[in-house]
Amino acid sequence: MKISVLIPAYHEQDKISQTIEMVQNTVKSLPFLTEIIVICDGREDKTYEIASTYNSHSVIILGYSQNRGKGYALKYGFNHSTGDLIIFFDAGLEFDPTHIVKIIDYYQKFKVPVIIGSKRHPESKVVYPASRQFLSRAAQLMVKTLFQMDIKDSQVGLKLFEREVLNEIFPKILVKQYAFDIEVLALAHHYGYKIMEIPVNLKMDFGHSSICLSSINKSFWDTLAVFYRLKILQYYDHSSKDQPIAEHKPLLKKNPEN
């Protein structure tokens, strides 16, 4: 079995080195082949330049010039991955990379094709403001009502998928930025894949977060758009599975010119 860890990174120049090094040290303990794929989502700071210094046979650094959103970055990274299991792990170290070992342990024990970290698992230990807790609960109530998914949290940046799940889902994914996680999980549920939630220890860094009222509003409308495509248009049942997984753009050079 081979593991691919996909790390989308946007405005992470202060933490990308620590993220890569900690993930590297964590996956060394795994008895599997592993690859770490960092996707630098836009060139608005020094994230790509710093990450590129770690480029090796087991650490692959990808990037493109324009910011396109987390969903685009993960699809792009998946298209360059070779693992049997795909793990999404957010840069920024809001939770420790040992969660990667933890989520693989759950997979080995239960063999569930989709496993996600959940802030509202009864064993989770989470630090974040009460106002954000209210917004998060409201969003998840909306998701449960619209998509009839029995999950308590869709937004934590720790997820594991069997490769065949993403092979089926990613060609149909349209959301590149807001509500991407919701679209992925809604389709996994729609296609009959079991989803399991596991506990996380999470300390939210909202001084570093790009979330704002505008993004919350856009996520709301994107979620409604996913519902409309899924339940009304039945787009996901009729769209071709043969469309490309990710739109290809030229990668930045390892040492890009200014």
Mean of the pLDDT values across residues 95-99?
95
Mean of the pLDDT values across residues 99-126?
96
Lowest mean pLDDT among 81-90, 133-142, 167-176: 133-142
> How large a percentage of the chain has pLDDT more than 70?
88
137 vs 224 pLDDT, higher one: 224
* Residue 212 neighbours by CB under 8 Å, 6+ apart: none
pLDDT, residue 216, reads 80
Average pLDDT value for the chain: 88
Mean of the pLDDT values across residues 38-52?
96
In order of their start, the domains of the chain are 2-238 (3.90.550.10)
Lowest mean pLDDT among 111-125, 143-157, 184-198, 212-226: 212-226
Q: Which pLDDT tens digit goes with each residue over 225-239?
A: 999 999 999 999 986
Predicted confidence (pLDDT) at residue 256 exceeds the cutoff of 50: no
Predicted confidence (pLDDT) at residue 118 exceeds the cutoff of 80: yes
Predicted confidence (pLDDT) at residue 206 exceeds the cutoff of 70: no
pLDDT, residue 249, reads 41
pLDDT, residue 24, reads 97
Predicted confidence (pLDDT) at residue 195 exceeds the cutoff of 70: yes
For residue 180, which of 159, 203, 201, 152 has the smallest C-alpha distance?
159
* Bridge partner list, 6: 37, 88
pLDDT, residue 248, reads 38
Tokens of 57: 């046979």
Tokens of 47: 């994230």
Predicted confidence (pLDDT) at residue 136 exceeds the cutoff of 70: yes
Predicted confidence (pLDDT) at residue 252 exceeds the cutoff of 70: no
CA distance 143 to 75: 22
Predicted confidence (pLDDT) at residue 209 exceeds the cutoff of 70: no
Tokens of 21: 């090094």
Summarize the chain as % helix, strand, coil (round to 5): 40, 20, 40
82 vs 141 pLDDT, higher one: 82
For residue 218, which of 173, 190, 180 has the smallest C-alpha distance?
180
